[in-house]
């Protein structure tokens, strides 16, 4: 046995290092390989990316063809669709709505839309779609008037609410304020 095959054990003295385990110098004595060598070695054993991808596709593509993967339903998200007749009706309704939106706004686009300010264009495009003022806005304004009087109509929050009101809502607010004044309960 060579001297390098023996190691000193601090408790019992010398122990033998079997010849199948590398010694301390193994890392420094072995030839180091560069990237090109490792790339060639990976290609040789079949662990490079192109080989792995080819093997993956070779397994997945036939499996997909055999099992006929079904895509998830675009309406309910289930795979396969849980209620196909309901989802079909939803798709038809969505299609009709898309068609209405596609044909509707084109008539309302102003001719000079590329020259007018964006807020004016917004108002022009959304004018026909305005809904009635929600009753909650009217009630909020009326609450402020009952609590703080007519001066509440000059507050920024109420000015913003009044700007969002349609004509019918403004008329309702005027009538209700006049009624409060007439009954002596108001401002």
Which pTM does this prediction carry?
0.35
Query: In what helix (H) or strand (E) does residue 60 lie, and over which residues does it extend?
Result: helix 49-67
What does the domain layout of the chain look like in residue ranges? 71-105, 135-182
Q: What is the pLDDT of residue 125?
A: 73
Q: What is the pLDDT of residue 11?
A: 61
Per-residue pLDDT of the chain (187 residues; tens, 9 = 90+): 455 555 555 565 655 655 555 555 555 544 677 888 888 888 888 888 888 888 888 887 777 666 555 566 777 767 777 778 877 887 888 888 777 766 665 666 667 777 888 888 777 777 655 678 889 999 999 998 988 888 889 988 889 889 888 889 999 999 999 998 888 766 5
Structure tokens at 112: 């000079």
Q: What is the pLDDT of residue 103?
A: 67
Work out the number of other CB atoms within 10 angstroms of the CB of residue 42. 15
Under 8 Å between Cβ of 43 and 51? yes
Structure tokens at 151: 């001066």
Q: What is the pLDDT of residue 139?
A: 92
b/e for 124-163, b at 16 or more Cβ within 10 A? eeeeeeeeebeeebbeebbebbeeeeeebbeeeebeebee
CA distance 105 to 126: 9
CA distance 161 to 138: 8
Q: What is the pLDDT of residue 174?
A: 93
């Amino acid at each position: 046995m060579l001297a390098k095959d023996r190691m000193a054990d601090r408790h019992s003295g010398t122990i033998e290092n079997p010849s199948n385990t590398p010694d301390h110098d193994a890392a420094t004595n072995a030839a180091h390989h560069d990237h090109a060598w490792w790339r060639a070695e990976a290609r040789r054993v079949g662990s490079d990316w192109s080989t792995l991808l080819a093997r993956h596709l070779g397994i997945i593509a036939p499996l997909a063809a055999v099992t006929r993967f079904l895509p998830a339903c675009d309406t309910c998200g289930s795979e396969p669709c849980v209620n196909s007749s309901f989802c079909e009706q939803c798709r038809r309704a969505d299609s009709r709505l898309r068609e209405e939106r596609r044909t509707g706004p084109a008539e309302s686009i102003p001719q000079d839309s590329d020259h007018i300010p964006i807020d004016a264009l917004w108002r022009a495009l959304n004018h026909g779609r305005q809904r009635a003022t929600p009753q909650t806005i009217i009630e909020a304004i009326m609450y402020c008037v009952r609590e703080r009087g007519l001066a509440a109509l000059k507050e920024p929050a109420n000015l913003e609410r009044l700007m969002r009101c349609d004509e019918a809502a403004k008329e309702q607010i005027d009538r209700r304020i006049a009624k409060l004044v007439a009954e002596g309960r108001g401002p």
